[in-house]
Structure 1
Amino acid sequence: MIVKKHGKTLTLFACIAALELVVGVYFAWHLGYMHTDALSRVANAFYVLYSRDPHLGAIGFVWNPLPSLMELIVLLFYPLFPVLASHGLAAVIVSSLFAGAGAALLYGTGKQLGLHGGISLLIALLFSLNPFMFLFGFNGLSDSPYIFFILLTVTRFCMWLKDRKAAHLIVSGFALALAFWVRYEAIPLGIGMALGVVLTVLFLHRRRIDKDTNTTELSISERLYKVEATWLLLLLPIIFSGLLWIFFNWIIMGDPLYFLRSEYSNATQSAALLEDQRFAAMFAHPALMLQFIGQRTLWYAVPLIAILLVRLLDKRLFSWSTLTLLTIFLSVPGLQFLLMLKQSSFGWFRYFMYVLPITVAWVPYELSLLKGNMRRVGVSMVIAGMLITAGLLSYALSNPAIAADEHSYLTHSGNESYDRQLIERKIAPWLDEHYSSSLILTDSYAAYPIILSSKIPKKFIITSDYDFGKSLTDLPASKVDYVLVTRVVEGVPLDQVNRSYPDLFEKGAPWASLVRDFSGQWRLYKVEHDKELR
């Protein structure tokens, strides 16, 4: 009965997810390259199950854990399909499923709000098959699940705008919390929505509707109480999630803000920005920052412009709901501006793309407000806006000056990470063959492609192992047989091995003898133990 009732929605989900999965497998397995951020999240899940010290805390406390928790379920099948880890296919599966779910959600929302099935399907397809959105459905990054939760958050919020049912707001609040467990960008999104609630309750939902459909004007104090109550429904889940994450960082890592200021955090990694002349110039002139952020946001803003034009034609442009939409939309570039003021954002092109799902999630609600010829005009303008956006973003993908990270992923041109992964996938089988029963210490921050490609991952002593710190402090007195150390790269934060022994890679150490150099990227040293201590 459920399949029959939701057959078209399920078919859309299955088709988009399958298409994303096929392309993702082709890139990750056939071409042999996985985005490093996606692969590192797979590694975090992998350590929970298959490291020397398997425990949930091995999932890490820098990046939000939900993507790795979902990949952990897929990795249960790792013994049967090692490529789930070695080539990151666990991440591809998760991102593909969420891409399909996003398409199904848009289609279902349009139907719920009274749009024609064909229009709802077209909106869903234009969003999901937009080359840029499609890319993030198959590349295994956390963006696909985050985009899904954005869509769920904003569509349910819009349904609350229309019918005032608290159930929609509750769903929106939990979706926002789940978005936080995927990416930190959910926090400014929540702030934008909180401001949207204020605007809605004070100026739009300012009347009480009784059972007889009679309306009564609410007093200012009543509206403020309603703002408070609405905030509790919408924001309590994400506030609780944030406090829980701080608590976990405190009790496990010993620092409640470990995710913000550890040696692996974004703040540490972005320190290299000061060496980039372009960023240094922007950091010194906030006006240049605003110009840079505005230019990047405009690539995704055509659907918003289409909505504003529709509102202008429908004589609703200068309204509080327009300001609500703009407030939520501007939460994305607003975050980037604040981060760049703190000199801690790389300003990558994809960081600005979240304005597109915010806008598209608003579209079904916007069209549902239109009647007759105005709806046909609105549909035409929105569809045109989405088509123009698809063309713009297709061009951006082809231009390394605009979308450098995405272009290098698709073409491998100038992609040092791709070349490095090819080397690292060869290191793992060599270590398996020659040192299958040895203990090899390495920092998983850098060595995760090697660990994932190994058929004997338990031979590695890695960062999340309970004895890693003690072993690293005094390697000659430890039970470690070998140390695998990576080359120090200028501008890249040091891993713990290079932090403890900064000259080890280049010069070795009195207690270490070089065994093998791997293409100048990695070196394996044998630890010469003090026999009296062994």
Structure 2
Amino acid sequence: MRILRSPALVVYLLSAALYFVVGYVLAVHYHVMLGDALSRVQSAQGVLFSRDPHLASIGFIFTPMTALVEVPLTALNSWFPSLTRYGMAGVIMSSVFMAGAAVQIWAIGGDRGVPRWQQVAVTVLFAVNPMIVFYGATGMSEAPFVFLMCWATRRLIRWTSTDDVHDLIGAGIALGLAYLTRYDAVVPTAFGAVFVAIVTWRRAKVNRWQTAFLDGVILAAPAFLAFVAWAATSWLLTGQAFAQFTSEYGNSAIIEQSGGAAESGPATIAYSAAEILVLAPALPLLVPAVVVLATRRRDLEVLAATLMFGSVLLFQTVSYATGTTFPFLRFYICIIPLVCIYAHQIRAPRGQIAARRPGVFNAPRETGGPSMRIAAAVAVALLVVSLPVTTVLMESRSLSVQQYAVGALLPFDPQEGLEMDRQLSILESFSTEREIADRLDAMDLPDGSILVDTLYGFAVVAASNYPKRFVLPSDRDFISVLSDPASHGVRYLLTVPNEGRGTADAVNRRYPTVYENGAQISMLDLDVPNDGADQPDWRLYRVLDTPGGDSE
């Protein structure tokens, strides 16, 4: 078959199929969905199907890449309701991106000139890593970010040998898109630009400073353009250039609403180190070997990979230590592709990399030297041993806050009693919101008749067959409707307790006592306790004096 003549395509199709199937089973069969992923799906849905459809509905708290990719998928929601109800649009998005990451790991091995058995083994071990599978299957931004970082790293590695401007441009484009996926990309862009400038400065014989500066700019320019364009667009439309950091819905506000950072100082550094070791148990053995060999060989390829992924890990460690982010295992996921690349780089680079236009500093590779067969086999064996270790440690509630509940679906789950109950309640997240959506759908309500903030209400809106019935913060008339719901035809307020993150809810900010007593503008119609862990209880209030009557 012709398809078998392209190993990279086979890697892509098999990986994408694996992640899609796992995602479908988790989301549609077991109803396992992550809040951030479902929130992005609802934002994408709002671009096309809200009562006020417009592109800015994707919001400006998160960077836009994942939601933009999901917009055309949500267009098919009329035929496939699970695309939004169960977040399958996100599953498709993460599947195709994480499969792309597996292809990049494959290609890095090919560029390195490793034997086919090693190339296959390392790629498979990356693709089936439980953390990679989980985030390739759950619609989170980790999938596109890992892919784009792998793409950027591969291109930068190639550039160290080829000096081909096409490789430098490719790395820059990947970093620019990575910034539109996660703010973390600022750091590897900065490190990468400095690395490129220093390498070029050392190689150049004339015009050193100009040439070094130009190469650094080529790498950093796409990310800088993305940074300026996104900040300017956010400022023009919302009045906040960096809503992630200044908005009531951003990370800083969430940490404050949650009671502030739980830890700080040395304890956070130790925790970050533990998280990294959960995902890469082989790291302590691989790093010394790779560093020694790279030093002997003067191997810039190892340094390129280390700077790109290591800077992301450093950023996450510092962010957690300073109390500006959360202790989530997924924030350290970049260590997985890094150790896989290290497994390739145990061997010396061999062969010549095909380049469109080799630069003047194109460096021929060594073809002699030891084959390092045993060292390569040991590196692969370390990756094999790492898989069960990572799988078991992902069952730890303290180390794997967001993933450990999935263990309840596995036959070897070590949890029992109250801990098992908590796992099941985490898996039930958003089941209550789907029930609320079904109840509201069963009512004969006009468009714009239910007012809710998507801070928590995104799951209700995503599960509804009638998203136009909801008045949302992304609607351009939201403030005026919120100020006088009755005169704008709103019949119901969907509310959460005014505590914790609920203090940022727009309805609570405008009517602080609405959840407790209706704020004298509404009367209680429905009280819904939540079955999901760490999810708020809901109350549905009927708005008083609604034009056209206040009863159904």
Q: Which residue of 1 aligns with 2:435?
A: 426
Partner of 1:225: 210
Give the CA deviation at 1:324.
4.9
Q: Structure 1 residues 270 and 251, CA, compared in 2 at 3 Å: closer, same or farther?
A: same
Structure 2 vs 1, CA of residues 119 and 326 (structure 1 numbering), >3 Å: closer, same or farther? closer
User: 1:210 is matched with which residue?
Assistant: none
Contact 2:293 2:346 in 1 (8 A): no
SS at match of 1:120: helix
* Partner residue, 1:212: none
Of 475, 480, 492, 1:482 maps to 492
Partner of 1:327: 307
Provide the rounded CA distance (Å) in 2 between the counterparts of 1:234 and 1:52: 41
Distance of 2:376 and 2:221 partners within structure 1: 35
What is the CA distance between 1:311 and its match in structure 2?
4.4
Q: Name the residue aligned to 2:510.
A: 500
2:359 counterpart residue number:
none
What letter corresponds to residue 249 of structure 1 in structure 2?
Answer: S
Summarize the Cα distance change of 1:533–1:86 in structure 2 as closer, same or farther, 3 Å threshold. Answer: closer
CA distance in 2, matches of 1:356, 1:66: 22
Distance 2:408 2:311 in 1: 32
Whole-Å Cα distance in 2 between the matches of residues 262 and 422 of structure 1?
28
Note the C-alpha offset of 1:432.
Answer: 1.2
Aligned position for 1:184: 183
Q: Quote how far apart the aligned CAs of 1:305 are.
A: 4.4
Which residue number in structure 2 is paired with residue 31 of structure 1? 30
- The one of 232, 241, 247 aligned to 1:256: 241
Normalising by structure 2, we get a TM-score of 0.86
Cα distance change on mapping 1:359 and 1:188 into 2, 3 Å = farther
User: Counterparts of 2:521 and 2:501 in 1: how far apart (Å)?
Assistant: 28
Amino acid at match of 2:124: L
Per-residue deviation, residues 251-295 of structure 1 (Å, max 9, x unmatched): 11122223321111111111146556x42xx2xxx3333333333
Counterpart for residue 211 of structure 1: none
- 493-502 vs 19-28, which deviates more? 493-502
Runs of at least 5 residues in structure 1 that lack an aligned partner in the other structure: 208-217
SS in 1 for 2:75: helix
The answer to which structure has the higher helix fraction is 1
Q: CA deviation at 1:425?
A: 0.7
CA distance in structure 2 between the aligned counterparts of 1:354 and 1:252, rounded to whole angstroms: 33
1:415-443: per-residue Cα shift (whole Å, max 9, x none)?
A: 55543411111111111112433611111
- Asked if residue 247 in structure 1 is aligned to residue 232 in structure 2, the reply is yes
Kindly indicate whether the alpha-carbon contact (under 8 Å) linking 2:4 and 2:10 is maintained by their aligned counterparts in 1.
no
- Out of 116-125 and 429-438, give the one that drifted further: 429-438
Match in the other structure for 1:379? 376
Partner of 1:297: 276
1:336 is displaced (CA, Å) by 2.4
Indicate how the Cα distance of structure 1 residues 417 and 445 shifts in structure 2: closer, same or farther if over 3 A, else same: farther
Whether 2:289 is the aligned partner of 1:266: answer no
- Asked if 1:529 corresponds to 2:508, the answer is no
Structure 1 residue runs of 4 or more that deviate by more than 6 Å after TM superposition: 317-321, 530-534
**3-state SS of the aligned residue for 1:405?**
coil
Kindly tell me: are residues 322 and 168 of structure 1, through their superposed partners in 2, closer, same or farther at Cα, counting changes over 3 Å?
Answer: closer
Structure 2: unaligned runs, 5 residues or longer = 351-367, 410-419, 531-536
Q: CA RMSD in A?
A: 2.7
Q: Select between 120-129 and 418-427 the one with higher mean Cα deviation.
A: 418-427
Deviations along 1:282-330, one digit per CA (max 9) or x if unpaired, are 2xxx333333333323334534742540442576288776655543343
CA deviations 1:226-247 (Å, max 9, x no partner) are 2211111110000000000111
1:386-405 matches, cutoff 5 A: 386-405=383-402
Cα distance, 1:361 vs. partner?
4.2
Whether the 8 Å CA contact 1:200–1:321 is kept in 2: the answer is: no
SS in 2 for 1:513: strand
For residue 57 of structure 1, report the CA deviation from its aligned partner: 0.5
How has the CA–CA distance of structure 1 residues 418 and 296 changed in structure 2, closer, same or farther, with 3 Å as cutoff?
Answer: closer
Indicate how the Cα distance of structure 1 residues 105 and 315 shifts in structure 2: closer, same or farther if over 3 A, else same.
closer
Per-residue deviation, 1:362 = 5.7
CA contact (8 A) 2:496 2:502 kept: no
